[in-house]
Amino acid sequence: MSTENTARTTTRLPAGHSARVPSVTGSAVFAGCPELIGTPFSYAREEEIYGEGEEAEFVYKVVEGAVRTHKVLSDGRRQITGFHLPGDLFGFGQGETHRQTAEALADTHVLIFRRRQIERAASGSAAVACQLWTMATNDLRHAQDLTLLLGRRSATERVASFLMEVDERLGATGTFTLPMTRRDIADYLGLTIETVSRTLSQLEEEGALLRAGGRQVSLRRARLRRVVED
């Protein structure tokens, strides 16, 4: 099995972050499709990767860093639909144009693939197409969970649920540094930054978590779970 290793030839690896680098492999799109090799590429913190409405030329896989995708209304209101961490693929809803904007949360390394190439691979291989179907389905599941969160949960439940989600995706250690600002969290949870901040303070006061320096949190998972209770 060609466990892609060469991928991060892209110079610096800020080994500062946790010693994880989990299954960046996965490489779902490529299973049984070795001719689909991604090209390494990098984006700086806060750099736009693609914009809503632009032609969808590439599909991306996060290698290192983090990306957010969002939609905006004309008056500036923003809704983040997802955060993409190492191993995640994004930008692959097959239409001619992107329906969201993607931006790097931090300095980020990705592998890029030509959309047409992937579509060609899909139409030639049921296995590849099924993997794309599976990935789209996973995204759909996530979007529907978010829908329930936004439509029917209180601010406290949203924040608690968010913290647990991030924890799981970052290794489920219960202690981590949030890779996004309060604004990003607010725009993901359909709240304001003030409400997010107050809710975090309240959760800390209730003993559901501990904080250090704004971004670092340590979850008391049992208590948080009780807050979410579903």
Partner DNA sequence: CGGGTGGTTGATAATTCTCAATTGTTGTGG
Partner DNA sequence: CCACAACAATTGAGAATTATCAACCACCCG
Contacting positions for a copy of itself (CB under 8 A): 71, 73-75, 77-79, 81, 93-95, 99-100, 122-130, 132-134, 136-137, 139-141, 143-148, 150-153, 187-190, 229-230
Is residue 47 part of the contact set for DNA (CB under 7 A)?
A: no
Characterize the bridge pairing of strands 209-212 and 39-43: unpaired
Tell me the per-residue interface mask from 155 to 194 with DNA, x by CB under 7 A, - otherwise. Answer: xx------------------------xxx------xxxxx
The piece of 47-55, 63-71, 98-106, 153-161 that touches DNA (CB under 7 A) is 153-161
Q: Which does 124 bind (CB under 5 to 8 A by kind): a copy of itself, DNA, none?
A: a copy of itself
User: Residue 88 carries which side chain, given as an amino acid letter?
Assistant: D
Q: How many CB atoms lie within 10 A of CB 59?
A: 25
Q: Which residue in 125, 175, 195, 218 binds DNA (CB under 7 A)? A: 195
User: In the range 63-92, which residues lie near DNA by CB under 7 A?
Assistant: none
What is the edge-to-edge ordering of all strands in the sheet holding 48-50?
A: 48-50, 101-104, 67-72, 78-84
Q: Which residue in 39, 94, 147, 201 binds DNA (CB under 7 A)? A: 201
Q: Which does 104 bind (CB under 5 to 8 A by kind): a copy of itself, DNA, none?
A: none
Is residue 200 part of the contact set for DNA (CB under 7 A)?
A: yes
Termini Cα distance of the chain: 41
The piece of 27-35, 49-57, 58-66, 210-218 that touches DNA (CB under 7 A) is 210-218
Please report how close the Cβ of residue 110 comes to DNA at its closest, in angstroms: 22
Long-range contacts of 91-97 (CB under 8 A, 24+ apart): 91/49, 91/50, 91/56, 91/58, 91/59, 91/60, 91/115, 92/59, 92/118, 92/132, 92/135, 92/136, 93/56, 93/136, 94/56, 94/119, 94/132, 95/56, 96/55, 96/56, 97/53, 97/54, 97/55, 97/56
- Residue ranges binding DNA (CB under 7 A): 2-3, 154-156, 181-183, 190-198, 200-201, 211, 213-215
